[in-house]
Amino acid sequence: MFYRGSEWRKWDLHFHTPSSYDYKDKSVTNEKIIEVLKENNISLVAITDHHIIDVERITELQNLAGNDIKILTGIECCSGSRGKEPIHFIGIFPETNTERLEYIRDEILIKTNINEQKQNKRVDSEIYCNLEETAKLIRELGGIITIHAGNKSNSIENITNSLPCSMAQKKDIAKNIDIFEMGREEDQKDYINVVFKEIGTYPMIICSDNHNINDYSLKQNCWIKADSTFEGLKQIIYEPEERVKIQKENPNFEFDKPYFEKISIKDDIKLFENEKVAFLKKGIPLNKNLVTIIGGRGTGKSLLVNYLAHTFNKNDKGFKDNKEFEVYYAKNNVENADIATFNAKDKSQINFIFIEQSKLKTLTDDKTVGEEFKKLLQLEDLQFNETLNKEIINLLGEIEELKDWFNYETENNERINDKDFNEKKKENAKQLLETITTKENEAKLLKYTENINDIKNYENLLLELDKLKEKHEEYSKELNVEISTLNDKLDNDFKIEEINFNKQLQGIEKVKNHFEELKVNKESENTKIKKQFESEGYKGDLLELLKNAEKYQRDINGATKQLVLIGKKERILRGKIELRNKLGKKLRQEYNRQAKIIEDSWNNILDNIGNEDQKQIMKKILAGRGIQIKGKVTFDLIKFNTKLANYLDKRVYRNLGENLEILNLESYYEFINKKLGDFIEGDKKDTTKRSLGELFFSLNERKEYLYTIVEISYNGKTLEKLSAGQKGTLYLLLQLATKAFSTLLIFDQPEDDLDNEFISEELVDLFKELKKYRQIIIVTHNANLVVTADAEQVIVANNNDENITYFSGSLENHTIIKNVCKILEGGKNAFEKRKRRYSSIASKEK
């Protein structure tokens, strides 16, 4: 068993030994042959000596090779007649039994009239056989036929060159051939189109045709993706383009991609707390291409991928965590890959797509579907712009703060920031000042109150200067401590000079002295004014007069100053309210920005595809399906009106949105710009139970009715018009398109969600293309997804009294074939259809 399934290996299907008459060095030993083949990493070799099957040598070679190299038996024959160019072809057989090999040898040698051949010697006369008759015999004996072609001597072109071939003759010739053996790598590109363009697709290989093991080298490296068995060889007939590559580099590492390398169940694992079901101890190596998991009902085929997803927090099925379930994850696809190990107890995060069973059927409303597609476009983080949201929050906060400032009341219930309050206060102070002002004392009172005001200003300035002086002194002291500490570590030549603010401090003292002098002068003037009142014989309470005059003037000045501040704050508030009323435009821009990001992300996926092969795959995924993806700003009027009901007084607004004339997205933006202010500060503010600003500007409120979704149409139909199967098909297509060439995909029973026609007609071919670029693991009971998709590995689940085990292999393995036919409905037919399909492609008889 090749447990990891079909993998690329080097094969040599045309190889001679000293048993051939024209071998260069007859002394070469069988040990030497095996040694050199191992050195060249050959996994399978076909011994194809000229007109002979040396059973004894082949048996010894097989024993020497053991399990390292598969030795197949073959024979090289010539077709033609004397005087005509011969055509060389080869029969290759599966047998290892000595008696059976002798029987095959004798049948071919006798029935094809080449028994004149003497071992290791060529008779004088040319030895020819009939291509059609010999090919028929080879097939009857269980073999397959390869033929020289292209730039190789004795090739099938000799037929077309020496004989004019009709189309019917060409088809008859082609029926006798399974595989073309080319002479050089470049021949395979145009060969069929040049020689037999009418007969279809055949596998093309390159072989060493080696006649001297001491000079062994492959002309080109021939890689075949199959088990190193005869059944593996037959696969390249059914899948000629998928199973053969002629190139120097190992195709296993052709595309860099992450993949699950192995699942290791290190000990028996009980999966659920109160259930008996368990995984039994097992190591499951995984192929890096298409892995299919099959099994009857209740055998645990889905449990494996669900527990794998559980290991990476991708589902919650009530599983018990268990460190004995380990997953080996290859971060890259190179010969010595970087492998990380994870277990189902510690868990972790890995980027892969997991589509659980019936997942696609849960995609119902547009918003849910839209969010899923945002994830596909890697836009799950696409949200309302955080900076703009902060700007809105700050703006609304500033407006409320200003309003609170205007409405502030002292403990005496005085609204000291109110315009009317200050105008009244100023007018009252003026009137009171007039009541104590006469013609005789007017000039003196005016001068006295002016001086009082000046003195107050000087005192404030002196306080500020004292604070500035203190800051300079403290700052220089702190800095000089740091400088002193650093200087202790430095040589004298590098000492840092301490800081002083002498110049600044001197300047401060000079300014202080000036204002102290002005203050003294004003105080002196007021002393003189008092003396004037006394000398003029003022009869009243001079102290009370001057005290009142000072108070009234202070109230006038204070109110005047406050009115200036109120005017400034009013202008600021009006400006901020204007900005708020323009938020409708900013909201429109922001949601349109989100919509454009969605469109750009989709276009970038289509435009930034790697190589030409990948572009062709993307065309298969998307071409002709009418898939269109756009961002759509959605205003849910029903949800908006439901929320609006919590804000409006229903006695005033019975029809809610209609009364506000908000019927769609455009009128919503328009309302913010032109009418919302009336409901917050204007004449309609008393008609609401709560401020409407919260409904429009709070993200938590707004996100329920205003958001950007991914708008998708498929074959001209929008999502709501698609059937469940079509919705699932669309979702999968976009999953494949958005991460087609990187992220591995695990899909549990796609046939439950997808239309059968899509699976058989399209998905199978897509999986065959995409598995080169990403690992695909599917649980399925659909034979097409296993056989027709040419799965590299089949894992079979078994359940024996709730003890679940798994074994795996390739499609060319008899045990796997038997299980596929037994478990999957139509499994046997799928194998037969696969054979017929490629047979019909080759013969153009379908």
- Quick count: other Cβ atoms within 10 Å of Cβ 386? 9
Mean pLDDT confidence for 758-765: 86
CATH number of 269-352+744-825: 3.40.50
Which range is least confidently modeled, 38-52, 152-166, 676-690? Answer: 152-166
Tell me: the pLDDT tens digits for 361-373? 666 556 666 677 7
pLDDT at 125: 43
Amino acid 204 reads M
**Contacting residues for 177 by C-beta, under 8 A, at least 6 apart:** 89, 135, 145, 146, 147, 156, 202
Give the pLDDT band (50/70/90) at residue 197: low
pLDDT at 819: 93
- Residue closest to 713 by CA, chosen among 725, 724, 704, 726: 726
Mean pLDDT confidence for 388-399: 94
Burial of 465 per CB tally in 10 Å (0-12, 13-18, 19+): middle
For residues 710 and 377, is the Cβ–Cβ distance under 8 A? yes
Give the pLDDT band (50/70/90) at residue 220: low
| Packing angle, helices 442-487 and 502-535, rounded to 10 | 160
**Contacting residues for 104 by C-beta, under 8 A, at least 6 apart:** 53, 73, 93, 95, 141, 143
Judged by DSSP in three states, 422 sits in helix
Give the pLDDT band (50/70/90) at residue 464: very high
CATH number of 8-253: 3.20.20.140
Cα separation values, 485 from 488, 490, 495, 498, 501, Å: 5, 9, 11, 11, 20
Tell me: the pLDDT tens digits for 503-522? 999 999 999 999 999 999 99
Give the pLDDT band (50/70/90) at residue 735: confident
Task: Provide the residue ranges of all domains of the chain, joining segments of one domain with +.
Answer: 8-253, 269-352+744-825, 399-577
- Return d(Cα 68, Cα 228) in angstroms, integer: 10
Residue 240 reports pLDDT greater than 70: yes
**Intrachain domains 8-253 and 269-352+744-825 with the same fold:** no
